[in-house]
Amino acid sequence: MNLTSSKKMLWASGAMLGGIAALLAYFGNPKNMAICVACFIRDTAGAMKFHQAEAVQYFRPEIVGFVAGAFLIALITKEYRSSAGSSPMIRFLLGVLMMIGSLVFLGCPLRMVIRMAAGDLNAYIALIGFVLGVATGSLALKKGFSLGRAYETKKSGGWVLPVILVGLLLLSVTTTLMASSESGPGSMRAPILLSLAGGLLFGAIAQKSRACFAGSVRDILLLKNFDLISVIGGFFVVMLIYNIATGGFHFSFSGQPVAHAQHIWNLLGMYVVGFAAVLAGGCPLRQLVLAGQGSSDSAITFLGMFVGAAVCHNFGLAAAAANAETNAPGGPAAAGKAAVLLCIVILLAIGFGIRKREDRQ
């Protein structure tokens, strides 16, 4: 089935993605999160003890599902292409930067839309930053930014990440090697088989629909093409209906689950994510899907996000959620704020300092 054949099919794809997210939220995943690529990579890094934040440690089967689902559907539809070689270290760095921006906001673009559908006004502030970040990245593309071309590699190269993730998932289920939160967001999870099945289907649909939160905005800005935004629209509508039906819709800045109302840092955090996503060629979700269909470059970006999650929690860069019981406002500490500003400087240097002509040298 060609899910990109019409806007109706793209809307339907987004609706199916929203249905999966709603189902996982209903059966135990964190409220106002359901599926968040950045948060779930962070939880997985914690489960593997790359950081010691006890509230966010759990090996998320959805991450395995995203990659493996894209991998399997790409094989079935003969879209699997093993490739590598497009500025891997810069891509790794972009992955780190995307994770820092996400954990200052407390969510990736996927969770931003989920929070918007729950009435979280902080996410609408973040959307402004995300669009501005995508716009800056799009300007860099127009000015000639390029990470160079990827080259076809042995087919087995693209199998490495899916196989490793499946192996780690088996270890998490059959041994006690992985840490697992007893409270906090890491303790909130749907049943393992449902999470894995949901992740597999989510990854397959995302691969076939070319779902990308940064790409949808980039296409509007550069090409006046509104096709990909249809996926996001369908996803938002289903999550909005779900939140209203279950009493999870609260139109406010305060009282939102795992969020803070530090507006400037919500905006700048997602500015970093949008900017880095355009330079890397896709949002966090898209990077996992591309890694699944054979891109070792996107696999490197994923590793950057993984390491970035560990760095954020080991060095106090991640924002804290607001706490109504203690009247704590939440938001990033001084280290997190400094990191976001440094991320912006690095992105400007990368985006406007690397040109296509370098490929001809």
- Residue 360: is its pLDDT beyond 50? no
Q: What is the pLDDT of residues 298-354, one digit of tens each?
A: 999 999 999 999 999 999 999 999 987 787 899 999 999 999 999 999 999 999 998
pLDDT of amino acid 6: 82
pLDDT of amino acid 18: 97
Q: For the residues 141-159, what does the mean pLDDT come to?
A: 91
pLDDT of amino acid 196: 98
pLDDT of amino acid 357: 52
pLDDT of amino acid 4: 66
- Residue 90: is its pLDDT beyond 60? yes
> Domain residue spans in the chain?
7-360
Helices marked H in 48-159: 61-76, 88-105, 109-117, 121-142
Buried b (16+ CB within 10 A) or exposed e, 206-236: bbbbbbbbbbbbbbbbeeeeebbbbbbbbbb
**Using CA atoms, how far apart are residues 95 and 315, in angstroms rounded to an integer?**
17
**Using CA atoms, how far apart are residues 250 and 205, in angstroms rounded to an integer?**
29
pLDDT of amino acid 143: 94
Q: What is the pLDDT of residues 178-230, one digit of tens each?
A: 999 999 999 999 999 999 999 999 999 999 999 999 999 999 999 999 999 99
- Residue 2: is its pLDDT beyond 80? no
**Using CA atoms, how far apart are residues 227 and 183, in angstroms rounded to an integer?**
41
Among residues 317, 323, 348, which one has the least CA distance to residue 133? 348
pLDDT of amino acid 355: 72
